[in-house]
Homo-oligomer: A and B are copies of this chain.
Amino acid sequence: MYPNIQAYDRGVMFNPDGKLFQVEYAKEATKKGGTVIGMITKSGIVLIAHKNIDEPLSVLSSMQKVFRIDAHIGAAYSGIVADGLHVVNQIRQAAQSHRMVYGEVKSLEAIAKELSSYMLQATFYGGVRPYGVSLLIGGIDTDRRLYEVGPDATILGYKANAIGFGKKIATDMLIKEYKDGMSTDESLQLGIKIINKVIEGKLKSDHVDVGYIEEGKEFTILNDQEIAKYF
């Protein structure tokens, strides 16, 4: 369709359709990552992430997909592993330095905007590539909130959302089965059911990372035993 595709691939430049090719390609990278699901629950949010690793001798606990960012915020990523660890580190530092400077927690929206601004730079200046990760950031400030930020640095809030390999299947199931006001337990059961569907019933409890927050509690990462209860 275009005489020579290579022109739009060097640096992050527009193609004739007004798309940033490198950003579009980076989005493909996020679609190869393990499925991550986030939901706003009755009193908080949950994050469920699939560890799409198929190596019998690997130590699954060494691969963290859900992170506590601050007492009131959690995050999970899908896409290039090292990119994910890097941007998670960025927002952790942003949350902590806000806490130290202002003596108060940073709002979810502010964290999401800071991440968006950070990821935007990688789509704007020469000599870098976009980040190949999408993140779900969730937590409670004045209310329960769940945001997605992707390679194009767009921020959008959701009641429930999925990223990664199973995004399409998972989103369809969320649209059908997610309901406002579900409890944490109901949400986690739904999330694990969905990921199990994505990988055709082969999900094991140690291949899942789970984090949640409820009003009055801090963001908590479940251990294997706690996760197993939802299987």
A contact set with B: CB distance below 8 Å: 2-20, 22, 24-32, 53, 55-59, 61-63, 80-83, 85-86, 109, 113, 116-117, 119-120, 123-130, 132, 145-147, 152-161, 171, 174-175, 178
Q: Which residues of B contact A25 (CB under 8 A)?
A: 13-18
Q: Which residues of B contact A17 (CB under 8 A)?
A: 25, 28
CB-nearest residue of chain B to A108:
B62
Q: Is B18 in contact with A82, judged by CB distance below 8 angstroms?
A: no
Of residues A9, A12, A55, which shows the largest number of chain B Cβ atoms within 10 Å of its Cβ? A9
Q: Is B158 in contact with A57, judged by CB distance below 8 angstroms?
A: yes
Q: Is B58 in contact with A157, judged by CB distance below 8 angstroms?
A: yes
Name the one of B8, B155, B157 contacting A9, with C-beta atoms under 8 angstroms.
Answer: B8
Q: Is A116 in contact with B57, judged by CB distance below 8 angstroms?
A: no
Name the one of B81, B124, B157 contacting A62, with C-beta atoms under 8 angstroms.
Answer: B157
Q: Is B2 in contact with A175, judged by CB distance below 8 angstroms?
A: no
Of residues A3, A14, A19, which shows the largest number of chain B Cβ atoms within 10 Å of its Cβ? A14
Name the one of B12, B18, B58, B126 contacting A28, with C-beta atoms under 8 angstroms.
Answer: B18
Q: A55-B158, A57-B174, A83-B120 are in contact. List 16 more A-B contacts (CB 8 A).
A: A3-B4, A5-B7, A11-B129, A14-B28, A18-B31, A55-B156, A56-B175, A57-B161, A57-B171, A58-B157, A59-B146, A62-B109, A80-B152, A81-B155, A125-B128, A126-B127
Q: Is B14 in contact with A155, judged by CB distance below 8 angstroms?
A: no
The docked-state distance in angstroms from the alpha carbon of A127 to that of B19 is 17
Q: Is B4 in contact with A157, judged by CB distance below 8 angstroms?
A: no
CB-nearest residue of chain B to A33:
B18
Q: Which residues of B contact A63 (CB under 8 A)?
A: 155-157
